Amino acid sequence: MSSSQLPLPAHFLWGAATAAHQIEGNNTNSDWWQKEHSGTPQIAEPSLDACDSYHRWREDMDLLVELGFTDYRFSVEWARVEPAPGHFSPAELAHYRRMVDGAIERGLRPMVTLHHFTVPRWFAERGGWTADGAVDLFARYVAATAPVIGSGVRHVCTINEPNMIAVMAGAAKAGDIGWGPVGTPAPDGATTEAVIAAHRAAVRAVKDIDADIQVGWTVANQNYQALPGAEDVTAAYRYPREDVFLEAARGDDFLGVQAYTRTRVGPEGPIPTPEDAERTLTDWEYYPPAIGPALRHSADVVGEVPLIVTENGIATDDDTRRIDYYTGALSEVAAAIEDGLDIRGYYAWSALDNYEWGSYEPTFGLIAVDPVTFERTPKPSAAWLGGIGRTRELPRVAS
């Protein structure tokens, strides 16, 4: 095995990512809080205080800067900003503005996500994304975030993983909100259409706030890999789960690419991960190169649109595997840059061990969080990965 380095391109974003519901705590007005407290069988435990980042965001940002990161992706929580239809909370908008200012003061460039899986309870109760007027309601919320994103924010993500929103809606309609053992449930078509329309409306609303803000959305890439002879089956399987959302990003300022593992597809469809494969705490196959083919496939679909890795990481309690995972992943990013892909940044998922949508067990964090005292303890991987923000050199490992 030999190794070398690739200098990061100028202005390359080097960050870690989080999402409001997963770290803030007490997001009581959201649909997820409701779900967590209504006996949903797939939810092992509720989020409760999460990492208390609603109060401790300064500490989180201080740590990221100390570690060497120059960028931070976090989300604004719609359920807090608009607790009742049409009522936009000046106090919550001021809270998120303080976060934006706090990031900038510390030398962290904020990337702001406007929607990361959770919606206000009232929005869910009126029928969610497919109800009449949903797109306009989302656009109205986006317009209302002007005091937060209106200055100093260069990158805005409209909707995180719209394809997973459609998949979860599809699974729920099929009477099973859980994940099957193999592959990804079929997305709900009406939800797909609605979130694409919501993205378009949100892009317009952000541009109305400031035309210079770079706007995009972030798509989950499952890395569908065709076994010999299954190329057509794979393409057909992938289209509604991924490509339709990538096509909707054509013409955007950037596309966020998110990948963690792979799914292999045979002539009959996705096949199970082999019994003897290493698995992570989410039970996904340990597959460090995931981000490479995800970037390349995304580029094939979106063409000239710049790419940003907006999430990539691993749930493990063995931090040496996390470093190993990121080493493999960054080699793929380096190779893709060398091959001429226009990649503008990389954000690790996640800054903190956080609420992984139903459980605190899968730990994705670079920084551990004590569930009672909320004390933060950076792991060795945090110093290692953050340090690349100082050396500005990507590791490249050729085996």
Residue nearer to ligand BGC on the CB measure, 164 or 233: 164
Packed helices 134-144 and 189-209: angle between N→C axes, nearest 10 degrees: 30
Residue nearer to ligand BGC on the CB measure, 19 or 144: 19
Report the distance separating Cα 230 and Cα 241, nearest Å. Answer: 17
Question: Is 206 in contact with 213 (CB distance < 8 Å)?
Answer: yes
Output the smallest distance, CB 321 to ligand BGC, in A. Answer: 16
Report the distance separating Cα 245 and Cα 249, nearest Å. Answer: 7
Residue nearer to ligand BGC on the CB measure, 73 or 109: 73
Q: How far, in Å, are 127, 155, 193, 217 from residue 131 at the CA level? A: 5, 29, 12, 22
Look up residue 119 and give its amino acid. Answer: V
Residue nearer to ligand BGC on the CB measure, 45 or 339: 45
Output the smallest distance, CB 4 to ligand BGC, in A. Answer: 30
- Residue 226, H or E segment: strand 224-226
Output the smallest distance, CB 277 to ligand BGC, in A. Answer: 18
Output the smallest distance, CB 85 to ligand BGC, in A. Answer: 26
Output the smallest distance, CB 86 to ligand BGC, in A. Answer: 28
Q: Which two tokens stand for residue 58?
A: 């300064």
Q: How far, in Å, are 258, 280, 324, 326, 395 from residue 320 at the CA level? A: 22, 13, 6, 10, 16
Q: Which residues bind ligand BGC (CB under 6 A)?
A: 19, 22, 160-161, 164, 220, 258, 311, 349, 356, 364
Residue nearer to ligand BGC on the CB measure, 158 or 160: 160
281: nearest Cα among 167, 203, 359: 359
Output the smallest distance, CB 113 to ligand BGC, in A. Answer: 9
Residue nearer to ligand BGC on the CB measure, 326 or 337: 326
> For the CA atoms of the chain, what is the radius of gyration?
20
Report the distance separating Cα 200 and Cα 135, nearest Å. Answer: 9
Output the smallest distance, CB 19 to ligand BGC, in A. Answer: 5
Output the smallest distance, CB 5 to ligand BGC, in A. Answer: 28
Residue nearer to ligand BGC on the CB measure, 220 or 385: 220
Look up residue 388 and give its amino acid. Answer: I
Q: How far, in Å, are 29, 69, 140 from residue 134 at the CA level? A: 18, 37, 10
Phi and psi at residue 286, to the nearest 5°: -70, 110
Output the smallest distance, CB 350 to ligand BGC, in A. Answer: 7
Residue nearer to ligand BGC on the CB measure, 287 or 364: 364
Residue nearer to ligand BGC on the CB measure, 292 or 395: 292
Residue nearer to ligand BGC on the CB measure, 325 or 349: 349
Output the smallest distance, CB 20 to ligand BGC, in A. Answer: 10
According to DSSP, the β-strands at 367-369 and 376-378 are antiparallel
